[in-house]
Every structure is written in structure tokens, then in C-alpha cells.
Amino acid sequence: MKLLRNTPLSQQGKANISSILLLLFILAGSWLLWSGLYKPLLMGLGAFSCFLSTYLAYRMGFFRHHKALLRMLPRLPGYWLWLLKEIVISTIDVAKIILSPSLPITPTVVILDAKTKTDVGHVILGNSITLSPGTVTLDVHEEQLLIHCLTSEGAKELQKGEVNKRTASLERK
């Protein structure tokens, strides 16, 4: 099971100061807009959470990946609509399976070769698969995903690679 090998991502990498300040600014702006209360305590808590979030994002290596994320941002709403349709279909399937007295499950484990190139792409692919009921991503290792499916039909559907294609087309230039 080479998929079980755990390789921690390296945390170093250059983060330029302007993008850090931009994130801080966006976070502060959204706090002020959405809280709507300008008491010293709440402002203090807001400042604290903005700094904490920015620090955690920096520590997670967000600033090495955010360019890939920003590039695919305009295509995301369309992708979400398609994903919503898929989620509705697979929800109905899974609900039928759970409610049918014979419980017709055929658990299957599949290894899927990701067509996505960037780390952000892998994350979106893995999370989309987990998000649709009936399939759960168990492990991501380099270019491969280990996926547990509730039924073998679900596994076949997955191997047709519709999700794979859609996420890969999200990150094309």
C-alpha cells in the first residue's frame, strides 16, 4: 500500500508581503462589514482573529498556492452548479440505498489518477469527490487518490472521469 506513505508538504517558500497585506485587508474589511457593531471589544476580537487567520494561512503555505486558486476563481461558480447537479443525483441514489430493506451496497475501493496538476486542483478534486454522497476520498498521494465507494456503480461512474476532467479544466490557463 504505497498510498499509505505519508509525506508532509514542505512549509517553506516565498510569500510576498503585498499578498499577505491584501489578505489581512480583505479579512478586516469583511469583519467590519458583517459585524456592524463597532465596540472596542468586538473590534479587538476582530483584529485578533484577522491576525490569527493570516498567520495560520501563512503557516499552511497558502501564499505559495493562492495564485493557482485566484486563476480558477472565475470558473468556480459554473463548476459549483455542475457539482450541485451531481450532488442531487447521488443524494437520491444513496437515500434509496439506505432506505431499501435489502441494503444493496457493494463497497469498492478505487485508485484514481488525478488529471489535475496543482495542489489546489488536487484539493478541489478530492473534496468534490467527498462532497458527493456515495464516494469518499481516503488518501491523496502525489498524483493518485484512494477513493472508497458505496456501490460498484459509483466506482464505475467515477472511473469514467467526469469529475477529473472538470477539475482539470478549472486550472487550464
List of residues contacting another protein (CB under 8 A): 4, 6, 34, 36, 84, 87-88, 91, 94-95, 98-99, 103, 105-111, 126-128, 130-139, 146, 148, 150, 152, 155, 159
**Of the two residues 17 and 73, which places its CB atom closer to another protein in the complex?**
73
Q: How far is the CB of 109 from another protein (least distance, A)?
A: 5
**Of the two residues 125 and 171, which places its CB atom closer to another protein in the complex?**
125
Count helices and strands (H / E) in the chain: 7, 3
The three cell numbers locating residue 163: 469529475
Phi-psi region at 34: left, alpha or beta (left = phi > 0; alpha = psi -120 to 50): alpha
Q: How far is the CB of 17 from another protein (least distance, A)?
A: 26
DSSP, collapsed to helix, strand or coil, labels residue 60 as coil
Which amino acid, 25? Answer: F
Q: How far is the CB of 19 from another protein (least distance, A)?
A: 20
Q: How far is the CB of 111 from another protein (least distance, A)?
A: 8
Sequence-ordered strand ranges (E) for 94-165: 108-113, 135-141, 144-149
Largest Cα–Cα distance of the chain, in whole Å? 60
**Of the two residues 14 and 136, which places its CB atom closer to another protein in the complex?**
136
DSSP, collapsed to helix, strand or coil, labels residue 171 as coil
Euclidean distance between CA atoms 171 and 145, whole angstroms: 18
Euclidean distance between CA atoms 75 and 169, whole angstroms: 9
**Of the two residues 18 and 122, which places its CB atom closer to another protein in the complex?**
122
Q: How far is the CB of 101 from another protein (least distance, A)?
A: 10
**Of the two residues 19 and 130, which places its CB atom closer to another protein in the complex?**
130
